[in-house]
Chain A
């Protein structure tokens, strides 16, 4: 048996973990090898190094006293209010409160915004029936005239057969004859009261989006949708808080790590 082979058996020999055959071979080698015998003796002495040492009574007493004192100190300092369970409960309640409040506020503001966008303005509301009325009254062929009227009295004058005759503003009766496109009281060319096709389309779209209220989610879907809206706005704050909490936790753990 070589020194290296004996080295692998030394631990087992000292700890009494070898089988009888291994033990016999190891003992035989030790009798003829002073180097391995020295190693074995050192290991054997190491295992029994403190067998003669007595455990100091002061140590047995002191660590118990220190632990009891520490327990009393922690109980005095911490109490119920600073216990980890209580702080966790408070943190959970605060998070829930923020989520519920934020969701409600986000939903509320979203609905208000949707309403203000979908609802036509007062002016639009007044114009809508008039435009619809005119569309109903005027035949399709008159639309060109309406377009001209929308471009102002000057354009109307050009399109007329007597285009070479300058006409600053037609008389009220004349305008009415030409298709009742221009209101007599208003001669302002940039704000015609006549509804164009585009305006009517826009009005229709507005009315459709106003009807979207009926398609909005309800119940749980509504709450989830509001929550999503809130989180979309507030996630950087939550992420920041979570990062801060993580850092504090790590520092705390590091401080308390024995």
Chain B
């Protein structure tokens, strides 16, 4: 039976409502700040509605929505002309230092999360998308690969390299975090 646009919009809203949080946080992970994340998430949902009548029922709605959200973010990042050159991430042979990001471990949870967000924002967009879907959103590898439209092997490789990159960034900035942590600790002791 043919549906009017209004009925279609109502049905779309009902399907998206339980997923709107995930769409927004995916965009937040990709864009790095709430303002851009809101814009990207809204664009994604509007695009999804425009294509909703062609959505195949046999496909998984959440995967389809993630795909649209990631594409909206990649478009927005391209418009923002964000060019992060992290060639070292694409090169083989990166080894995590033996001591690891000790400084990171010594930070408080809130500070760790700030540091982690900053590190994620430094990843190239395609690596960031892989990490956001798998590590931040907790998608299964296959679902994330479907959402990104890449083979699962490629996704595994990107996730692995993104994690290595994050560890390296956090290790490199370790001293800074450590100093900040010590400074905060000292302030707390003074109080």
Question: Which residues from 74 to 120 on chain B have a C-beta closer than 8 Å to any C-beta of chain A?
Answer: 96, 98-102, 104-105, 109-110, 112-113, 116-117
Contact with A along B38-80 (1 / 0, CB 8 A): 1001101111111101100000000000001001100000000
Contact with A along B6-44 (1 / 0, CB 8 A): 101100110010001100110011000010001001101
Q: Which residues of A contact B191 (CB under 8 A)?
A: none
Q: Are A49 and B41 in contact (CB under 8 A)?
A: no
Within 8 Å by CB of A67, from B46, B109, B113, lies B46
Q: Which residues of B contact A257 (CB under 8 A)?
A: 51
Q: Are A67 and B45 in contact (CB under 8 A)?
A: yes
Interface of A, helix, strand, loop or mixed by DSSP: helix
Q: Are A58 and B38 in contact (CB under 8 A)?
A: yes
Q: Are A70 and B116 in contact (CB under 8 A)?
A: no
Shortest CB distance A90–B (Å): 16
- A/B interface sample: 15 pairs, CB < 8 A: A34-B102, A34-B105, A38-B102, A38-B105, A39-B167, A42-B163, A49-B136, A50-B29, A67-B9, A68-B9, A71-B6, A71-B9, A75-B5, A85-B2, A258-B48
Contact with A along B129-171 (1 / 0, CB 8 A): 0010001101000000000000000000000000100110010
Interface size class of B (residues with CB under 8 A): 35 or more
Q: Are B38 and A62 in contact (CB under 8 A)?
A: yes
Q: Are B109 and A258 in contact (CB under 8 A)?
A: no
Q: Are A42 and B24 in contact (CB under 8 A)?
A: no
A46–B130 Cα gap in the complex (Å)?
13
**Does A47 interact with chain B (Cβ within 8 Å)?**
yes
Q: Are A59 and B42 in contact (CB under 8 A)?
A: yes
**Does A41 interact with chain B (Cβ within 8 Å)?**
yes
Q: Are A15 and B138 in contact (CB under 8 A)?
A: yes
Given A42-B104, A49-B117, are A70 and B163 neighbors across the interface (CB < 8 Å)?
Answer: no
Q: Are A35 and B98 in contact (CB under 8 A)?
A: yes
Q: Which residue of B lies closest to A76 (CB)?
A: B5
A217–B41 Cα gap in the complex (Å)?
66
Q: Are A75 and B6 in contact (CB under 8 A)?
A: yes
Q: Are A42 and B116 in contact (CB under 8 A)?
A: yes
Q: Are B104 and A256 in contact (CB under 8 A)?
A: no
Q: Which residues of A contact B72 (CB under 8 A)?
A: 258
A75–B16 Cα gap in the complex (Å)?
21
Q: Are B112 and A38 in contact (CB under 8 A)?
A: no
Shortest CB distance B1–A (Å): 11
Within 8 Å by CB of A70, from B29, B44, B50, lies B50
Q: Are B41 and A63 in contact (CB under 8 A)?
A: yes
